[in-house]
Structure 1
Amino acid sequence: MKLKLIIALLIFAVLSCKKAEAEASQDSAITMVKLPAKKMISNDESISESPNIEDKVIEQKIIKNGNLRFETDNLETTYDQIKIAVKKGKAFIQNDSEGKDYGTIYRRITVRIPNQNFDSFIKDISTGVTYFDNKEISSEDVTEQYIDIDARLKAKKKLENRYLELLAKATKMSEMLAIEAQLSAIREEIEAKEGQLRYMQNKISLSTITVEFYKTIAEEKGVTISYGAKVWNSFKSGFYTISSFFLGLLEVWPFIILAVALFYFIRKRFKKKNI
């Protein structure tokens, strides 16, 4: 009887173990099924986000410069034409100078113009110009440099925030001073990076165009001067010469008086001997 009871208990135990193993295997199967599903969702999320990152187009940062030089028949007319083009292109004149060179008179203007109006401005001021002595158009892509500086600036600002958190938690004076020294150095770097970005952004948003136009003139040689002008110049030259002579005499008047007195004395003695 006891033997039958022990055998029954053993059979029950074996059946219970098998049932537990079946449930465990079922749970593991469910888990294995759920995990890939969960993994697929996260992958879908990353895939759904990754196109947004890839689709984000990075705007190119281009610095444009222009340098033009040409001859004109009328400096004022050409200047008026440039002023109209400046107003049309929403630009402004940064520098304006004029002067005289060998056989020419010229005017040099530096214009800052929005990047999007660069090409139209070049076209407007080129109207009527048959020949350019010099025409240089350059474009420099600084996108990579701009992104690099911007990324470094953001990293420095994050580092600054971490040091500010450490400063708020610091209790010792030595720790505070050390953190303040680090913050000071970081802030200097941040200001330098911000200055570089501002300078670069200014160059990107406003292109620089230098326009020099000139007019050929006759050289003022002696052949081109009229006869009346020559007479007048000679008269003035003679007057200046006489004036210089009398001024020179005034400077040596004691010697002149002494020479006259000596001449009179010698002449008087010579006459006495002859008598």
Structure 2
Amino acid sequence: MRTILLPLLFLAFINCSKSGGDKHSVNADLVDIINEEPLPPHSVSEKASSDATSFPTLKGSDTVSRKIIKNGGMRIQVGDIKKAQSQTHEILKKNNAYIQKEEFQNTDVNENLNLTIRVPHKSFDKLINSFSDGVGSVLSKNISSDDVTEEYTDVSIKLANKKIYLEKYRDMLKSATTTKDMLEIQEKIRGLEDEIDVAEGRLRFIDDRVNYSTLELSLYKEKVRSSATSKIGFGSRFIDSLTEGWNSFVAFLLGIISFWPFFLLIPMIIVLWKKWKKRKQ
């Protein structure tokens, strides 16, 4: 009897262990299936935000050089606009500068040539000195410097992080299996691409203003000569005085004529006053 029971117990033990192993393999397969199922729609943003916490964030870097924007404005009185314009072109050529905008005004009183000049920042001070020395009499000059290093660094850091987010969302888009998930991820990608374009445009603008300084130059010539500032002879000054006197007399006469309606009212007032006085007597 013992010889029969021992083999039976041994077979039963083997069957139990085999069924236990099959049960564990099924459970493992179920876990794999659950992990392979697509994320619900609301979990897309949650997964992105959770993954975003693991993104490497750029810190303030010392590699960004100082960004200084230099601007200036000058108003110069000259004797001849054309000659001054020719001198200006020579100065610009020597300093590798160029004219971004040009505007000329010719009035009865003066002539104005307004120029917007862009010059490499290294040549900005040299350009200012060149205009101050030999073109004409400097009437006004203002120079300003704006340090935009902090703004440039901040925009650069945010731009780099946005690019990291963008790549992460693109990877998520490849593995998305439902239409809703794909639409949500694509919307995130579009928003990031727009923000990246704006940031890159801002950096390009700052680089342009840093690399090339701006000078607003105004060349000015008076048409009416002033005896206090111009070196002219007595004869010319005498003729100018006669001309100015005649112009003043004509202006005074025209001013009186403009009051002709009031001159008509004076006789009428006198006649009415005399009649009123006779009636009273």
- 1:76-128: CA deviations, max 9, x gaps? 22111111111111111111111134621111111111111101111111113
Q: Identify the match of residue 176 of structure 1 among 166, 182, 194.
A: 182
- Is the contact made by 2:81 and 2:219 (CA closer than 8 Å) also made in structure 1? yes
- Match of residue 104, structure 1, among 105, 110, 117: 110
Aligned equivalents of 1:115 and 1:63: distance in 2?
8
User: Given the alignment of the two structures, is residue 66 of structure 1 paired with residue 72 of structure 2, yes or no?
Assistant: yes
In the alignment, which of 56, 74, 85 is matched to residue 79 of structure 1? 85
Q: Secondary structure at the match of 2:134?
A: coil
Could you tell me the percent identity over the aligned residues? 30
Alignment of 1:163-202 (within 5 A): 163-202=169-208
2:132 to 123, 126, 137: 126
Distance 2:101 2:62 in 1: 39
TM-score (norm 2): 0.57
| Residue pair 1:81, 1:125 contacting (<8 A) in 2 also | no
Structure 2 matches for 1:228-267, cutoff 5 A?
Answer: none
- Provide the aligned C-alpha RMSD in A: 2.7
1:159 pairs with 2:165: yes
AA partner of residue 192 (structure 1): V
Q: Find the residue that maps to 1:106 and give its secondary structure.
A: strand
Cα 1:119–1:156 shift into 2, 3 Å: same
- In structure 1, distance between residues paired with 2:128 and 2:173: 55
- When the two structures are aligned, how many residues end up with a matched partner? 173
- Aligned in 2, Cα 1:154/1:58: closer, same or farther, shift over 3 Å? closer
Q: The residue matched to 1:132 in structure 2 has which SS?
A: strand
Task: Tell me the CA shift for residue 218 of structure 1.
Answer: 2.5
Structure 2 runs not aligned, ≥5 long: 1-58, 226-239, 245-281
Q: Which residue of 2 aligns with 1:91?
A: 97
Q: Which moved more, 1:84-93 or 1:99-108?
A: 99-108
Counterpart position of 1:203: 209
Change (3 A) 1:119 1:54: same
- When normalised by structure 1's length, the TM-score is 0.58
Flag the structure with higher helix content: 1
Query: AA paired with 1:152?
Result: K
Give me the whole-angstrom Cα distance separating, in 2, the residues matched to 1:190 and 1:54.
19
CA distance in 1, matches of 2:81, 2:122: 28
Change in 2 beyond 3 A, CA 1:152/1:103: same
- How far apart, in 2, do the equivalents of 1:109 and 1:100 lie? 15
CA contact (8 A) 2:60 2:157 kept: no
TM-aligned CA deviation for residue 131 of structure 1: 4.2
The one-letter code matched in structure 1 to 2:75 is R
Aligned-residue offset at 1:54: 11
